[in-house]
Chains A and B, each alone.
Chain A
Amino acid sequence: MSWIGRSLPRLEDPSLLMGRGRYVADLARGAASVKFVRSPVAAGRILSIDVPDGELVFTAADLDGVKPICPILHRPDYIAVEQPILAKDRVMFCGQALAVVVAEDQGLAEDLAEEVYADIDAEDAIVDMEAALAEGAVAVHAHAPGNVLVEGVLRSPGLDAAFADAAEIVTLDLRSGRQSAMPLEGRGGVAQYDRISGRVTLYASVQMPHMLRTGLADVLQIPEADLRVVAPDVGGGFGQKMSLFPEYVALVWLARKLERDVAWIEDRRENFLASSHSRDQSFHVRGAFAKDGTLLGIDADLKSNVGAFSCYPVTCGVEPLMALAELPGPYKVPEYGVRSRGVTTNTGMMAPYRGVSRPMLTLTMERMMDVAARRLGIDPIEIRRRNLIDSFPHRSPTGLVYDEGSYKEAMDRAVAAIDLTGFRARQKEARAAGRYLGIGFSVFSERTGYGTPAYAARGMNIVPGYEIVSCAMDPSGFVEARIGSSPHGQGLKTALAQLIADELGVEPGKIKVFSGDTDATPYGWGTFASRSMVIAGGACKLAAGKVATRLRSVAAVMMQASEDHIVLEDGLARVTGTNQSLPIPEVARAAYHQSHRFPQSGPGLIENATYDPGGTFSNACHACIVEVDIETGGVKIERFIVAEDAGLLINPMIVDGQIHGGVAQGIANALFEELIYDETGNLLTVSLADYLPPTMAEVPTIEIEHLETVSDATITKAKGVGEGGAIGAPAAIINAMVDALSPFGIEIVRMPATPQYIRKLIREAERDAHG
């Protein structure tokens, strides 16, 4: 009996459901409270900072020997920038930490923070990319005139010819507003100082605990061994909890300086102001098409606003370079030209958020297909069919190798599920009655589970990718798997337990997966980039397989059978073809306590394994039906279908949950959420009354169809699925809205497509029609 493929209720849940989860704020009791004093202005020179006497208040001047955060990319077009832990001399964005205060509780810390006064000579801030790139613009970082921190350029030789030969050239100018991943639990840390060892344990709500420890040790110039980082239960991350933030450096520094426990629990306002942002992008893209709809080439100028600093460890290259590498997506693009820039401004730092660039890339290609189809008089599904990749392995113009997928099949499944023909008839009737329904599709690839080769190709100084798993069956027959990945709500421990259970023939309830503690797990990279099921899963499968080999070897001796005849299932080691068996715990105990009997396998049942795959591509087609209220500009999503291919499903219920959540964030991206700065660089959206994550009322039922293409790209046959929902949904929604509004001939060119924006487009279209 296999555990793989079963919708097993999660092992993580009972404690979380009973309020016994342990999130970082739950560990703050007894610790002193830390509050950061933040800059009220976006740019300026710090003249002085007045601090109250006799209180625990620290500024940059106090941070002796603490280095700035400075991530590196080995690319000639990358300019490294230093991020100080507390602002020194200059402030670079509104919300940057100027000072840190410590008091006995949070209320008192906030009282104390109000007594710190910074005299800042405010200067004009560079807020948007156009201003940053304007001729003669002030340099945000003095050593980066022109304000471009990273710039990638590619141009295939035949590009000009492709455009010269084109029957139709489609030009798109698309814009995505700035967003926050906005995990429901903000950032936070509790740094505990051990007076005996001098060691600090930092409990922090993070996705990459090992990386954080390395970064902290480097910046603080202390041995990594003096630091333990623990990610306890983490209340969502979505990329925002990957980076090394100055706050964590300050926290560890304070614990060591004051020799006491200190806690910083970010509040929501601070999370909007000072945690990382993403998706502030502006794309100018031209597509050359032949008369039959064949895409001949893409020429793209892509700009990403990376804010004031570069995020550690992935750097500010993460959005621009992802955009450069993956714009072609699931389509055959014979000729490709691209210039992709990361532009620095006096705004919050950009860092990964579920999907990284691909929501915009997918919007670009999917608008491209719809517009080209309309202009060339080809059905939108047909033009996609003509251009989707269909032979594997496929090599993209940027050198990415796509394993087997089901790009056309997924689209066909979505088209059938949403009843395109039936919809067109209904749409016509609705229009006659003054109602504007529309349908939209979005086909995309999701590159997942990529190891070191992919990151090395980006020129990263720190090259993530592999995972090491340590797997042991203890003498009682329970299994302990120690992983470097660090899940934050995905249910990874359950899915890994299912994989291990199949290898070892024990039930998942007997498998304990340990993560997130640098003292208890092997060095690893954490959970991000739709990687953990593929990579930590692969390493678990390998490590558990090695433990199984040991178990079989021991059992063979115990039952005087050949190792090849031992199978592990249902908690037993059985000799095939006989009724001879031993309970696995009995074998395990013997492996530890009677090891003299098993000289060939040696003592114990402990194994390590490493997995570092090249990567695999999941794929999907999203389809949705919307109704636009043309008088208010409001949109209602009537149906939303996802035809998803994530390879073999380990736990289908968890996979569906990932898709649901991703789509909800895609809906947010398309329609609701935007961080808005005013022209001085002051953030206007610092509460949930202004920044608008969708509620249950705005998220429709999401219908999912699974395809399960099995490729050899991963040893578990599973592909990653964490980001796809967020990647595909925006394009499907925007395409559906454009379809709904086709009587007005409107082109939607920005996300979120808010009601006021839609009304503006309709108003302008009506004005043009009358004038």
Chain B
Amino acid sequence: MANKHVITLIVNGKDYTLSVEARRTLADALRDDCGLTGTHLGCEHGVCGACTVLVDDKPVRSCLMFAVQAEGCSVRTVEGLAKGDALHLLQKAFWENHGLQCGFCTPGFLMLAAGALEADPDLSEEEIRDILSSNLCRCTGYQNIIKSVCLAANEMRACPPSADR
């Protein structure tokens, strides 16, 4: 068996020291080694986006990155989005607007939208739509996802990210 690497991941602001094989993807490390199972695996080839997390604030596919590559990076997952039980504006909008059904794709959409809107709070609906076309949802037909994200984007603009993060 290949050598294990001892690495430290900073996930949602907390340090996790892990011993992993090089082949362990970031997604598997988050799920199996950190116990953060909110990040889901839907295809393991970078298409479905269920595993989208923020690495140094950028939305990436955690199935296409090895955990060893994330050493020292700041990783944010869906578990870090709410402040305690206070939902993030995106989560709140998804809840109020039925932006999820089975919920399997939801963490990926939330993190994708969070990363994109933090990078550019002024994205237009068309730009948001283009960005959200990165991820697959099989239940909602996307209609309430785009609605939720656009409504949340408005609120996030009114209430700057630093205040709600």
Is there a contact between chains A and B in the complex with CB atoms less than 8 Å apart? yes
Q: Which 4 A-B pairs rank lowest in CB-CB distance, beginning with the nearest?
A: A19-B38, A489-B102, A235-B104, A16-B103
- How many of chain B's residues touch chain A, expressed as a range? 35 or more
Inter-subunit contact A19/B41 (CB<8 Å): no
A-B pairs with beta carbons under 8 Å apart, 18 shown: A17-B94, A17-B110, A18-B78, A18-B82, A19-B79, A183-B104, A185-B42, A185-B104, A235-B42, A268-B42, A268-B45, A489-B139, A657-B144, A660-B141, A695-B142, A696-B133, A697-B130, A697-B133
B44 within 8 Å of A by Cβ?
yes
C-alpha spacing A388/B130, complex, angstroms: 41
Among the 9-residue stretches A444-452, A589-597, A685-693, the one with 4 or more Cβ atoms under 8 Å from chain B is: A685-693
Interface residue ranges, B against A (CB under 8 Å):
1, 21, 23-24, 28, 31-32, 35-45, 47-48, 50, 77-79, 81-82, 87, 91, 94-96, 98, 100-107, 110, 129-130, 132-146
Inter-subunit contact A29/B144 (CB<8 Å): no
- Digit string of A219-241 for contact with B (CB within 8 Å is 1, else 0)? 00000000000000111101000
Q: Which residues of A contact B91 (CB under 8 A)?
A: 17-18
Interface on chain A toward B: helix, strand, loop, or mixed SS?
Answer: loop
Q: Which residues of B contact A14 (CB under 8 A)?
A: 87, 95
C-alpha spacing A23/B105, complex, angstroms: 12
CB distance from B42 to the nearest CB of A (A): 5
Q: Which residues of B contact A236 (CB under 8 A)?
A: 101-102, 104, 138-139
Inter-subunit contact A661/B79 (CB<8 Å): no
Inter-subunit contact B102/A235 (CB<8 Å): yes
A273 within 8 Å of B by Cβ?
no
Inter-subunit contact B136/A695 (CB<8 Å): yes
Inter-subunit contact B143/A23 (CB<8 Å): no
Inter-subunit contact B141/A16 (CB<8 Å): no
Inter-subunit contact A19/B136 (CB<8 Å): no
- Digit string of A1-32 for contact with B (CB within 8 Å is 1, else 0)? 00000010110111011111111011001000
CB distance from A115 to the nearest CB of B (A): 14
CB distance from B60 to the nearest CB of A (A): 17
Interface members, chain A 699-754 (any B CB < 8 Å): 699, 701-702, 725
CB distance from B159 to the nearest CB of A (A): 19
Contacts A19-B38, A29-B35, A661-B139 known; A488 to B102 CB distance under 8 Å?
A: yes
Inter-subunit contact B136/A693 (CB<8 Å): yes
Interface contacts beyond A9-B96, A107-B23: sample of 5 additional A-B pairs, CB < 8 Å, sorted by A: A12-B103, A14-B95, A17-B95, A17-B110, A489-B139
Contacts A14-B95, A18-B87 known; A238 to B138 CB distance under 8 Å?
A: yes
- Digit string of A93-113 for contact with B (CB within 8 Å is 1, else 0)? 000000000000111100000
C-alpha spacing A17/B50, complex, angstroms: 13
For A688, the closest partner residue in chain B by CB is B47
C-alpha spacing A191/B12, complex, angstroms: 32
User: Which residue of B31, B81, B137 has the most chain A CB atoms within 10 A of its CB atom?
Assistant: B137
CB distance from A563 to the nearest CB of B (A): 39
Contacts A184-B48, A696-B129 known; A19 to B37 CB distance under 8 Å?
A: yes
C-alpha spacing A335/B93, complex, angstroms: 53
